[in-house]
Amino acid sequence: MASRPLRRFRFGRALRASEEGRTILEALVGERLPALVRSVRYHRPRAAFCGVGFCTGCLVRVNGRPNVRACRQAVREGDRVATENSWPSPRFDVLGALDALFPRGIDTLHGFRRPAFATRTYQRVVRRLAGYGRLPDHGAPAAGIRPPTVLRARVVIVGGGRAGAAAAARVAALGEPALLLDRGPGPGPIPGVEVLPSTTATVLSAAGPGGGDQFTLLGYSAEDAGVLVRAPAVIVATGSYDASLLFEGNDRPGVMTADLALGLARGARSLPFRRAVVVGSGPRALEVLSALGPRACAVSAPGGIPPELVRRASELGVSLFPRSMVVRARGRSRVRSVELRRRGSGPTDLVPCDAIVLAHRRLPHHPLLFQAGATMVWRPLSRGYYPALDPSGRTSVPALFAAGSVAGVAPAEAAASGVAAAEAALGRPRSGPPSTPVDPGNSGEYDGYFEELLTQPRRGKWVACACEDVLLDELEAASGRGYRGLEVVKRYTGLGTGLCQGRYCVPDALSVLSVLEHRAPPEVGYLTQRPPVVPTPLGSLARLHDEVGGEVVP
């Protein structure tokens, strides 16, 4: 392997070096996944969890800028990387004592009211527990926030995976200008397509200022330059991501999604664990098992384990725990073992491990579709919302299309769904067979799962929303007081209001509330997906001010 040039940076007081092109997280990962930050309420140690820039596990301060996701930011020469919301360090944090002092949490809604004279003192203390990073050290100098990019295209494609790349290529092949935005490195050059890598689309409005240009899309680039795209047609191919799972200690360092584990297996020199328990039984679990090889020690799945996964596991000498639920990750500063309970009140197995990799469920990354007003439908098997589509990938919003896994299309058909959407977006006849969105869920393995999970004994905190440290107990308390529906419980508890915008907590919270309220998940409701899709720097939006213009009054 050809060695790449080294980039030197500071982590706290230590001088570090890393190969060019690696992320800060990859540069910091060694034998273990380091705790990089403490959580907001209980100062629980947190390490990278999602690996795709949504969660709060790897927030660091870089060159005086707070709340930078170490998993998304490449190391640059001379970077000063610091930890936040911990003293003296994320590993040994004085306020971490709160977590042990209040094993079942602090009731900030009803507590702290007496004696009244102490209110101001309480407020000062509680206020200190809020927030992650401190105010940025400096503003953007004139050169810091670059001029915005303002573009028009016949079709804009959001997401450069298989579906998005195929859609863009098809638009170009049909002789129309295509623009593709990708949050990551993108698909590489495609003839006839303008590709903007490292560009995150965060706001999609179907009300543009001009007649023909129906959509206004806002976003930002890696250097905080604002991006404004106007286009008469949009294809959303934003893909999917690995879900979280509710159990005691699911926020401990070492619990991670398959997105993170596979990303580290590709990008980092070594994996930061030795014995990983893989959760799941589908193709994703197989992919993880193959990538981890001898570092996997067990597979746990809520239902049966299919033969190909059994075969691969036996090749690797991995133990199998079919029909099991993860009930508890043991260990405080990192995972040391996991308790797996056999479904139907069976025995509990204690499996020593230093990582738990969640590969049980993929979720569509759909906020942009919700935001633009597309009709979304509940798919009971995968227990998630997908856009209502015709066979060409047309949503309920005119000229808005979805393709690939965000549309519920199987990976093998992703490219074909992109081609179909491109042709439909241009009003051309379809060249291939209709794409067939499927319900990618596994049949019924989560039936009764959450009913059973809620009856498990709780010794410590069951964190339902890691960004805001909202506990399962709080969801139950809200429900017990008669507050029903996800929108109301969100406002009552704060669940889903943190930096990940509910991506990781909402899916399981929906299942929990469905059990508590004795009604099906669609009746529990969903959260309004508000813009922006991911936190968007004020500076990049500010620079777009003169370009955006007013809305068309319908």
118 binds other proteins (CB under 8 A): no
> How distant, in Å, are the alpha carbons of 148, 198, 203, 236, 535 from that of 220?
8, 8, 10, 17, 10
User: With binding defined as CB under 8 A, does residue 82 bind other proteins?
Assistant: no
Smallest separation, CB 506 to other proteins (Å): 14
Minimum distance of other proteins from residue 269's CB (angstroms): 30
Tell me how far apart the terminal alpha carbons of the chain are, to the nearest angstrom: 59
430 to 318, 337, 410: CA distances (angstroms): 46, 53, 19
Contact 409, 432 (CB under 8 A): no
What distance in Å separates the CA atoms of residue 6 and residue 53, rounded to the nearest whole number?
A: 24
The reply to whether 132 sits near other proteins by the rule CB under 8 A is: yes
Smallest separation, CB 140 to other proteins (Å): 4
Provide CB contacts within 8 A for 142, sequence distance 6+. none
Judged by CB, which is closer to other proteins: 49, or 215? 215
CB 131, min distance to other proteins, A: 3
Instruction: Confirm or reject binding of residue 485 to other proteins (CB under 8 A).
Output: yes
Please, what is the minimum distance in Å from the beta carbon of residue 284 to other proteins?
Answer: 29
Q: Which amino acid is at 445?
A: E
Position 80 contacts other proteins (CB under 8 A): no
Tell me the DSSP string of 187-243: S---TTEEEETTEEEEEEES--SSSS--EEEEEEETT--EEEEEESEEEE---EEE-
User: CA–CA separation, 482 vs 473, rounded Å?
Assistant: 14
For residues 13-32, which are near other proteins according to CB under 8 A? Answer: none
How far, in Å, CA of 358 to CA of 509, rounded? 17
Among the listed residues 218, 261, 329, 340, the single contact to other proteins using CB under 8 A = 218
Instruction: Verify binding: residue 144, other proteins, rule CB under 8 A.
Output: yes
Q: Which is nearer to other proteins, 197 or 485 (CB)?
A: 485
Task: Pick out residues in 486-515 that bind other proteins (CB under 8 A).
Answer: 487-488, 491-492, 494, 497-499, 501
Cβ proximity to other proteins, 145 vs 421, nearer residue: 145
Query: DSSP character for 52?
Result: S
Name residues contacting other proteins, limited to 225-254 (CB under 8 A). Answer: none
Among 10, 16, 65, 312, binds other proteins (CB under 8 A): 65
Residue from 136, 184, 304, 411 in contact with other proteins (CB under 8 A): 136
Closest CA to 398 of 368, 416, 375, 367: 375
Q: Which two tokens stand for residue 472?
A: 């399962």
Residue closer to other proteins, measured from CB, 268 or 376: 376
Q: Does 292 bind other proteins (CB under 8 A)?
A: no
- Rounded to whole angstroms, the Cα distance separating 414 from 393 reads 11
With binding defined as CB under 8 A, does residue 203 bind other proteins?
yes
Quote the longest CA-to-CA distance of the chain: 74
Residues in contact with other proteins, counted by CB under 8 A, come to a total of 73
The 515-554 contact track toward other proteins, x by CB under 8 A, reads -------------x-xxx-xxxxxxxxx-xx-xxxxx-xx
| Residue 491 C-beta: closest distance to other proteins, Å | 5
By the rule CB under 8 A, 98 interacts with other proteins: no
